[in-house]
Each structure stands twice: as structure tokens, then as C-alpha cells.
Structure 1
């Protein structure tokens, strides 16, 4: 009787998955329960082909990561669909990291591409896995190179560079990596964009190391505009409104 009931429940569950057209947050749990079910794998892969809903695609990809040992080309399916649907989902990114799909090379390539989705994906990946930035020297070196870069060929390159710098500075604020905070201080006066300068100052203030603050104080004595930025941000910190700043 138990076996019959189990088969009935399995069939009902598969019919339910087959009927899905919209995101279902527990799809990955169904994948865990019926891990070795070929019919479920077939349904999941067909849903992936048919859907155009990024949120649904994200849930399907989480299920595929559970079922990956039964899917020959699972790595390509995940990467291609995350790119094609421009998905930035912290839970999916963590699952991808656990499956070793987020590599240093991938992050560097996305940084070079520099489009809006790529930069958002990089930031989300590093926020959720802060140890990666400490371990991945190539990524850290790319960040430093971009922060130091001041010469570009045209306005398009300038805009692209500004967006990359903004993302990197926000990551520095998020993760408080001392080496990168030092780079912010070293390159503070070369940042012409006011928003970038505020972000760089903010990273230093939030980090709060005395030696860095003393160096910042010396720069303020020489630069009245910088002093205004710093004092304004100190006021924001004092009012505990810094979370709304970036």
C-alpha cells in the first residue's frame, strides 16, 4: 500500500511540475526528492527550453544544479541561461559557487565586458562569497588596475570606465578589503567624478582605520572640495544613514 501511495504521489508531483508556467520557489526541493527520476529531468529540461520568464528560469536552473549528475551538459546550460536571461539571483549564485561554476576567469571576463548585468553579477557574486576576493589575485589586480586608470580614448570608454569603477568601489564598501581601501586613498585625488570620489571617501570612513583617517585628514587640508565631501559623509555616518548612500 505504501508503495502504491508513493507512486501516486510521485505521478501527481510530476504532473504538477509539468503544469508549471511561473516561478515556484520549492522546485529544487522536488528535484532533491525525485533526484533519480528521468521523467522529472526531461520535464525540467523542456521547461527550460520553453520558458522566457527570467525568474522561472532561475528556479529551473537551481533544480538543474540539484539534478546535474543526470544532465550531461549542465554546466553550459547554467552559464548560457544566466547570461541570456541576465539573471542576478543571490541564491542561484551561491548554488553555482558550490558547484564550482563561478571561477576567477569568469569574473575577469565579465569585468572586461563591463555591461550593466555583468557588473551586477560580479558584485552579487563577491558579496555572497567575500573570501573569493581575498583569494583571487587576478580579480583583485584587475580591480586595482581599473581604479588607477585615468586615460581613455573616447567618451564611450570613459562612461564604461566610470561604471566599472563605481561597481568596484561599492564592492570595496561592501567587503572592506584593506588593500583595496588603501588604493582608494592613494587614488582619491585622481577621481574627477564626484560620485566616485564620494564612494572612495566613504570606503575609507567606513573602514575606520586610524592611519588611513590621518592620511585623509592631511589631504583635506590641501583640498577644500575634498574636505566638504568628507564632512558631509561624516554627518551621514553620524546619523546612521550610510546604508542609503550607495
Structure 2
């Protein structure tokens, strides 16, 4: 038999190649193929095996499986940290305007809880996607009630919506004054004004010598009930007229006046 070093080397063995090994049970040299040898070593755990489920103790994990599980854990962490988009505030700089007036410039302001993926204002996609933003609308020529709608969408397609509006009202006029030479629109406009949608009002006056308390409102608001200093009544209707406000809008008004002058400092409640 030749010496071990006398044998030549095969650089690319095949599965059918044979090797000699010692059968320890039979105490004899025996032949086997490389394929049979590799299968035996694999079954006894001698070579690394692939464990797709990561449940086989002592086996090497498949790199792809590990990578997929890392991605899954990362996604779960991201889900835990995810906060849906929210509109914290949405407002405009006008709010209430006088009937007959024209609003040409409007500033809209909004704040979101995070940077949005898309922002849509009244159906128009905004170019800027900042979480805090201010937009100025010029040449609006607004003469009637208007609602602005803001829609914000985040990177998961969740959305939030909020409205802000401009409403046109005529005024309620109130205050103290003597009896005028002519009870007309100019006199009513000289009183304090409150743009509002109904007749309800609470105000404090200080009526001096020969001064009465006046209250003028659109006829469509209905007949008011007065309480002065805790006592009901004390007012009477003195006129009805076509009133023109400072914006040129005209409608029917009713004018009330306190029964007495010089009533001092009082709180007037109108319902």
C-alpha cells in the first residue's frame, strides 16, 4: 500500500467519489461515498443546517428568516410609536363680518400635530406640507357666508378634517344718549354695535342727566324682553325704520328706549 502522501489530490470531488474510513463497530476499514458521508454528518448535527422557523435547538438560523423577523420587530415598534394625524387648530382672521361689507383678504392659519403627507384646502392640494402654516387669500371678494375646509393626510393615509368660517351679521346697537332731533340711521350708528345672530345681549351702562338707554335691532330677531338691574321691563318701542349700516346694507329695524333717563349705572339683560 502506498504511503498517504504518495496519493495525488482531487481538487473537485463529486458525490460519487469514495473514501476509506474505519468502521469502529466492525473494527474494519470500509468504503463509502462522499454523498453518504455528507448525509450522515448532516443528520448528526456535524454541519450547519437551515432552521426556517428558528425552533430547532443547536441549529444555525437562516439569514433571510432572521432578516424578516428583524423587519417584523421594527414594524411592530413603528406601529407602537405611530400617532394618527390631528389638526390642532384651524382659524381665519375675520370670523364675523358686517352684512353688506366685502372681504378681499383672508388669512387662514392651521397647526397639525406632525408633518403631513398631503394638505388639501377647499379641495386644492397645498404645495407646502409644514405642520404649521399660514395662507393669505387675496382678491376674495367675499360677500356672503363662507366655510373653509382643511383636510390633512399622513403617510398611512389616515386623515383629519376641520372647518373654519366667515359669517355675515347685521348689528345690534345699544348705549345711552339724549332724545335726538331725528331718530334715523345716523343716530343708531352712533351707538355701540355688536354683530350677532340674535337679540340676546348683556351690557352695562351709566345713564347720566337726560340720558336714556337705547336698543335697536333687526325686526327679524323678534321682540326683546328687558331686565334692568334685576327688574323686568322698563323699555318701550319708540320707532321702526329702514336702517342702513356703515356697509350700505339696509333692512327693517325696531328701536327701543328706556322709560326713564338718569338711571345711573345698571346692567341690562336682553332676551
TM-score of Structure 1 vs Structure 2, range by shorter chain = under 0.3
TM-score (norm 1): 0.27
TM-score (norm 2): 0.25
More strand by share: 2
More helix by share: 1
User: Does 1 or 2 have the higher relative contact order (CA < 8 Å, sep 6+)?
Assistant: 2
Larger radius of gyration: 2
